[in-house]
Amino acid sequence: MKPVVALVGRPNVGKSTLFNRITKSQDALVDNLPGVTRDRNYKDAVWDDVEFTLVDTGGYLSQDVDDFAAEIRFQVNQAIDSADAVVLVFDRKAGPSPFDNELVQMLRSVKKPVFYVVNKVDGPHQEHELYDFYQLGIENLYSVSAAHGYGVSDFLDELVKAFPQQEPAISKDLIKIAVAGRPNVGKSSLINRILGEHRLVVSEVAGTTRDAVDTIYQEDGQSYLFIDTAGIRRKGKVREKLEKFSIIKAIKGLERCHIALILLDASQGVTEQDITIAGYAHERGCGCIFLFNKWDLVEKDRMVSRKYKDELRYAARFMSYAPILTISAITGQRVKKIFPVVREVYNQYNIRIGTGQFNRILEKAVRINEPSMVKGRRIKFYYGTQVSSGPPTFLCFVNYPKNVHFSYIRYLTNQIRLETGLDKTPIRLFLRQRTGSLDQFNFGDKRPSKKHRSKKR
């Protein structure tokens, strides 16, 4: 396992900026508003060929200044307990505070390396301002500027030296799963139920999760990376700048996952926004599984499950491939059934179809239902091949690609599903103008060419 490093500190000291600097990413939200980061945010980093996992935490406050202060304290303590090293970040501009002193006292009992970093030191001319922090009883301070990079390399040199020496672990490839949906449908509750611990902040207040949070989990020898995304509201209800950033990050979370779990609130039924979110995942080529959460709140009768599924199938008919499950994150009902379906979708998502097999499928489909005419000429499909997986993506060479109706592309996609059994993954089919002589693969017209007809005479 990679060493885990937890970044802790009071609000607005620059933890997320330092997180982004070290991980060379923009995965942590950065804003002047204190308290932006609430959950733990995980990402891998590398320094001097040493790999480790960095954890960004919410701003620590000992007093309940808002509804989330107690939850954030719990998250910070969890991060410290699970880390191999802890980095306490101070703010040079604000100077030492009682909250800093409280954190220092708390970390004195931690039996693991602790690094004390003074952020917002923009150069040697500000180094003298570190002396105020020695009153906290700290022996070694590291001066850095997370925004500009000053001192960060020297600090990282010392950090990686403190990691315990471990044998490199060999693990299977991660299946990346994004948990997406409207605000307050139970995304964080589901991940907490799966992990068996209170890992993410859960609240009845809509919009609690702002970062896209990454969490690793293992089940039956397979590793999964869960990405808990912020709830995606309708555009008309997105007002705050910060919330707009959260929605952008939620969509980016969909872009880097293999499979999206689209959560719906069963107590509210299928909404227009549920279908919009499903469309985001579909457009990005994610494997998808629909989950009706809060199923424990639904009044049951013999046909209720069929009614819900039929309504969703009609509203999201462009995603007929996506399996549908009914679960309850609170009670745990059928949550374990998610993983067999995830593995089945993932296997189809990454499948490869040989060129010979694909062309036989294409030839049969064109023979059963020929494409339309264009200005008196038949559209011809010459040959095709799979160009990538994740999702399965096929390219066909055609004489008039721009004139192939979308309904015919949908017909060919359905034929591919029928012949290959790929009923649980999105399939992409692209058309391209042919180049060169490919007459031997012409499925649209079986008549001999003019050249051959003239020889027969």
343, 359: one domain: no
CATH number at residue 263: 3.40.50.300
State how far the Cα of 250 lies from the Cα of 252, in Å rounded to an integer: 5
Whether the Cβ atoms of residue 43 and residue 212 lie closer than 8 Å to each other = no
- Distance linking the first and last C-alpha atoms of the chain: 76
Rounded CA-CA distance 207/231 in Å is 6
Q: How confident is the model at residue 263 (pLDDT cuts 50, 70, 90)?
A: very high
Please report the pLDDT score of residue 22 as a whole number.
94
Domain for residue 304, yes or no? yes
For residues 365-377, give the mean pLDDT: 87
For position 229, what pLDDT does the model report?
76
Residues 85 and 133 in one domain: yes
Categorize the per-residue pLDDT at 184 as very low, low, confident or very high, splitting at 50, 70 and 90. confident
Residues 265, 374: one domain? no
Q: Are 185 and 155 within one domain? A: no
321 and 290 in one domain?
A: yes
Mean pLDDT of 443-455: 45
Residue 212 sits in the same domain as residue 77: no
Please report, rounded to a whole number, the percentage of residues in the chain having pLDDT higher than 90: 44
Residue 170: φ, ψ to 5°: -105, 115
- Matching residue, tokens 């089940």: 219
Asked whether the predicted pLDDT for residue 296 surpasses 60, the reply is yes
Taking alpha carbons only, the member of 5, 88, 75 closest to residue 45 is 5
Last residue of a domain, one of 295, 325, 349: 349
* The residue type at 169: A
Asked if residue 126 and residue 64 are part of one domain, the reply reads yes
Summarised one tens digit per residue, pLDDT across range 67-116 is: 555 665 666 677 787 788 999 999 999 899 888 888 888 888 888 999 99
Residue 170 lies in a domain: no
Q: Do residues 345 and 366 both lie within one domain? A: no
Q: Please give the residue range of the domain that contains residue 362.
A: 355-456
Pair (256, 339) in one structural domain: yes
Nearest to 87 by CA among 160, 202, 165, 9: 9
Q: How many domains does the chain have?
A: 3
Same domain, 151 and 237: no
Res 164: pLDDT: 77
pLDDT band at residue 444 under the 50/70/90 scheme: very low
Rounded CA-CA distance 390/422 in Å is 12
d(CA 322, CA 453): 50
- Are residues 150 and 118 part of one domain? yes
pLDDT at 141: 93
- CATH code, domain carrying 448: 3.30.300.20
Residues 22 and 84 in one domain: yes
* Residue 167 domain-assigned (yes or no): no
pTM of the model: 0.60
Asked if the structure places residue 168 within a domain, the reply is no
β-strand partners of 142: 117
